[in-house]
Amino acid sequence: MPSPVYSEKSPAAYPTSASTSHEQKPTPRNPGYSMPHGFDKLLHLEPESSPPPPPRRTSTQSRYHLHVRQQPIAARACGAGDRDRRPVDPPPIVQILLTDFDPGSQDDRDILEDPRFTVGCLLFPVSDSPPYLPNTDEDEAPEGGGGDGDGVARADDTFSTPLLSGKAFMSPFFVDEDPDPNSAPTHPSSDNPHRVPSPDLSQPENLRNASKLHQPATFFIFADLSIRSAGLYRLQFRLMNWGSVEDTGQSMPILAEAWSDPFRVYPAKDFPGMRDSSILAEGLKELGFVELKTRGKGKGKGEEEVVIWILHFGSFSCL
């Protein structure tokens, strides 16, 4: 423990002959004088005790969660040129969730509307058998991103994309109301912050909608991702905020992560076809995300033809 620092003028720390001499207190000139009540405070002003500082809000970093709202299911392997690009289908859609989110709180809404958020996407090959663990060997780095494995993105990290091409970093897309409340997840609770409750499909539709109608939401929509080699993969999504670099000048931390389900990338001759667009994708395009290419009923091969293709050609391990 560091030694206390004493002032040279402090008689308590350094007794002097003046302080140790017989010091007499001055005698009041008028012993019978009585000061009116309250005047002592006026004559001898004492600084009022300052109010206690407001409680510091805990770091919002622990509140952040990522939820893959729309999972990728299949993709057609594309060539090296931009002309042969084939997007992952359906396009992955990731949503920010906040622990103890209050839709009536302006502070929580401001967090969702922060334009400095970004989500980066990494591609990992996985084994063909459960539990579909990603290959994290040092010899095989993830496609689409880099880093030292310490959870911190750095300006000098290399983000090469030999297999994953397209837009691997997306800015937030904020909406005042979730376009598909039926599939909307519930924000985590501080009682169990790592569990993201799924929609309760056992309840009637009107009850499921009641608590999620008119709720704001922030999405990261990866409508332009292509993969050049056939195989089984998973995507990892990492939430970051450029504001942390601007405010602190330090490396940008990873605020939250989420993994997609395994999905297969097929050679062109084996690709089962594109699926019809989801209600969520159609709603987001109507709300202004024009990069989404939606397919109405009958415009895509749809789920039925995918199932028929699976039964004819073999199992589809990621469905």
Residue 92 phi, psi dihedral angles, 5° rounding: -65, 135
Q: What is the mean pLDDT of residues 134-157?
A: 48
In the chain, where are the structural domains located? 62-272
Give the pLDDT score at 164: 92
For the chain, helix, strand, coil in percent to 5 are 20, 20, 60
Residue 54: per-residue pLDDT? 44
> Do strands 263-266 and 74-76 pair parallel, antiparallel, or not at all (unpaired)?
parallel
CATH T-level topology, domain 62-272: Immunoglobulin-like (2.60.40)
Backbone angles phi, psi at 56, to 5 degrees: -75, 130
Instruction: Report in angstroms the alpha-carbon separations of 306 from 92, 280, 310, 316, 319.
Output: 18, 20, 6, 9, 10
Q: Where are the alpha helices (DSSP H) in 183-272?
A: 205-210, 243-248
Distance CA(28)–CA(290), nearest Å, equals 87
Q: The whole model's pTM is what?
A: 0.66
pLDDT tier at 37, thresholds 50, 70, 90: low
Q: How many other CB atoms are there within 10 angstroms of residue 181's CB atom?
A: 20
Average pLDDT over residues 84-88: 87
Q: What is the 3-state secondary structure (H, E, C) of 122-157?
A: EEEEECCCCCCCECCCCCCCCECCCCCCCCEECCCC
Which residue reads 């993994």 in tokens?
A: 259
Which tens digits make up the pLDDT trace of 149-207? 443 344 344 444 468 999 999 999 999 999 999 999 999 998 865 565 555 555 555 54
**pLDDT, mean over the chain:** 74
Q: Report whether pLDDT(263) > 80.
A: yes
Average pLDDT over residues 201-216: 63
